[in-house]
Structure 1
């Protein structure tokens, strides 16, 4: 037992401490939003890489509740220390495992660096021993660095424009009051671009496929998807036309390479999701202001990560036709990229300033969403009392159980 009175300890959008009860409540809410299963067909054996946060978490919860998914989730989360709580993803994973067990799902979790050979081998061994073959791999990793297991070199990603410097509006909070700030980022050099591609591109996704294939774990009709984003022309200079965009292009090129490798026995797609407030997206300059305006414009038309994960699963399960673009990407972002929505966001973006931000953008909603990523600002959670912070990582199932 380790009861603590916890304080967020945040600086901007980064929180030092996570709240375990709040994280549990967030997962419970997402679980309730996920569709219930239809019929009694068995679910696929799936490997979800990046299962503790963002779209990976949403896909895990929807797969478990709505599609009787079996298999393994992988995340890389920090344990509790004397000074800090465990990472938010640690607490989210613990609650996800409890819900999975209550639903009777044969699904376990592995905590480790998915970029490493050791985690790949352990995951493959677990899957082989328990299931034999894998039907689906969902790849949803956003990381600041990656150690190349072939060379040992550590690559660090950067969020910068390419070609020219980037100047734009940004959302900042001063003493809790939303303000429109000014941002200036210098263009990335070639080495920074290449390092970002090494971290956030498709190299590791390809390695996962190679490992599973080498061990005979790809089921007939195997499918794999990797989460991506395109976004608006408003954010294009810092996203799609920047270093991250170069990495996403490499991810899409990798999908084509995987399809060639599979030779018709399976298929790979990148999945273009819509905007979301995630721990990864909050690190991208200007995304906060853009997302706050987008939420105000879309209103009830906003699609949460669970909404989008449900749409993805329907397509993967064959319950709905694949929504593909001319580059063979699954598109979940139609609600965001609707021309009328984008026109309204653009008009607001061009005019928003210190005097209008309160009405032009859902800044309070955005700030609460960021807090909830770490278990804070969740309605109904009592933050004034001590909470149990020592939560065990879910145990692996007994072999043959």
Structure 2
């Protein structure tokens, strides 16, 4: 066990260490805000990517609101001599404690979900402990993926397609946030393909087929992969860029899987609204857009837990499915409301002036980034040494 006095190591949006108690406190606070009203159904869930962002929110709302059982999968780094464990490691430990204390049967595996060995480990655990799966939630986000069949390592890129990208962006390199400019050259065909292989539907398809191959699909099985569309303001770098190409592949995969599951289950993508996550903070211009959106909406900005609660209501039949013309579950109506977007466009039209009116939104965004790593959480004493050695919850063993 290691007791350390630690301080954040930060440059702009990049934070390379995490605070164990701060990270755990963010989980406890999200848990406490979720109504505890388990409906008695206690479905078995395989949640791929449970340790951050929408995956974490889906885990906690599923436990508190629907008494889900099952397995969560993430790939987090343990503590080393030079660094703390990742924030997702500490969040997982906190989530497991809350789930266990509330009497929920949910276990966590730390493994590379893209690998054949990782799939085998997880599926064996599911089969032994739970049997058939009611819901597979796919919420993985990673910068690279090794194709388990070819051994090729694909690296995703965040680039436009067809032409260069220039746009305003939020710059936190100084004492106060300011508007900078980002310029990116277009992706090559190879970069587009690689991004699609990491962030598209290839791995999701493998998971669904692996479950089916082992006879682990419950009657009425549902699988959902989380995705994002966003505003036309961010479309050139998101929906019309390499990430968007990957998301389109994800959506095509949903249709293919839905056809494969006909008579036994369903497959959807679920379009979430904007959020501050470790993945989204890496996308140019998203920070500025999100700061403006928060300024416009204030407390009307829906949290990941709010959106995850909506998703569970629809998946469990408590509320009707809200589908668009492409058959996607829509959770983002609050963000894309035309009046909301008109006000965001007005700020975006003159971003430097807009930032002056959106200082609170920019400060909120950076505060949210810090909280992702357990820093800046109210009530946590950062002056005191903290126990940085935290065990991964059994039976989750890294492979």
TM-score computed with the length of structure 2 as normaliser: 0.98
Please name the residue that 1:266 is paired with. Answer: 265
Is the 2:45–2:135 Cα contact (8 Å) retained in structure 1? Answer: yes
Aligned counterparts, 1:221-240, within 5 A: 221-240=220-239
CA deviation vs aligned residue, 1:200-226 (integer Å, no higher than 9, x gap): 000000000111011000001000000
Please name the residue that 1:37 is paired with. Answer: 37
Please name the residue that 1:146 is paired with. Answer: 145
Please name the residue that 1:345 is paired with. Answer: 344
SS at match of 1:174: coil
Please name the residue that 1:359 is paired with. Answer: 357
Is the 1:352–1:360 Cα contact (8 Å) retained in structure 2? Answer: no
Alignment partners' CA distance in 2, 1:91 and 1:147: 26
Aligned counterparts, 1:101-112, within 5 A: 101-112=100-111
Please name the residue that 1:28 is paired with. Answer: 28
- 1:377 Cα shift? 0.7
Alignment partners' CA distance in 2, 1:150 and 1:105: 36
CA deviation vs aligned residue, 1:230-253 (integer Å, no higher than 9, x gap): 000000000000000000000000
- 1:34 Cα shift? 1.5
CA deviation vs aligned residue, 1:44-88 (integer Å, no higher than 9, x gap): 000000000010000000111111000000000000000000000
Please name the residue that 2:240 is paired with. Answer: 241
Please name the residue that 1:17 is paired with. Answer: 17
Q: Note the residue ranges of structure 1 that are not aligned, 5 or more in a row.
A: none
CA deviation vs aligned residue, 1:129-181 (integer Å, no higher than 9, x gap): 11110000000011100000000000000000000100000000133311100
Aligned counterparts, 1:95-106, within 5 A: 95-106=94-105
Please name the residue that 1:131 is paired with. Answer: 130
In the alignment, does 2:280 pair up with 1:293? no
SS at match of 2:154: strand
- 1:191 Cα shift? 0.4
CA deviation vs aligned residue, 1:2-40 (integer Å, no higher than 9, x gap): 11011111111111110000001100111012221154x
Please name the residue that 1:117 is paired with. Answer: 116
Alignment partners' CA distance in 1, 2:384 and 2:114: 38
- 1:335 Cα shift? 0.3
| Deviates most, 17-26 or 174-183 | 174-183
Alignment partners' CA distance in 2, 1:142 and 1:26: 20
Q: Note the residue ranges of structure 2 that are not aligned, 5 or more in a row.
A: none
CA deviation vs aligned residue, 1:340-378 (integer Å, no higher than 9, x gap): 00111011111121x552323511101100000000011
Please name the residue that 1:47 is paired with. Answer: 46
Alignment partners' CA distance in 2, 1:168 and 1:238: 9
Alignment partners' CA distance in 2, 1:363 and 1:36: 33
How large is the RMSD of aligned CA atoms in angstroms? 1.0
| Deviates most, 261-270 or 220-229 | 261-270
Please name the residue that 1:5 is paired with. Answer: 5
- 1:96 Cα shift? 0.3
Alignment partners' CA distance in 2, 1:300 and 1:54: 18
- 1:334 Cα shift? 0.3
SS at match of 2:179: strand
| Deviates most, 166-175 or 203-212 | 166-175
Give the count of matched residue pairs.
395
Aligned counterparts, 1:127-276, within 5 A: 127-276=126-275
Alignment partners' CA distance in 2, 1:250 and 1:175: 39
Alignment partners' CA distance in 2, 1:333 and 1:307: 11
Please name the residue that 2:321 is paired with. Answer: 322
SS at match of 2:325: coil
Alignment partners' CA distance in 2, 1:173 and 1:128: 47
Alignment partners' CA distance in 1, 2:335 and 2:7: 35
Alignment partners' CA distance in 1, 2:363 and 2:234: 21
SS at match of 1:71: strand
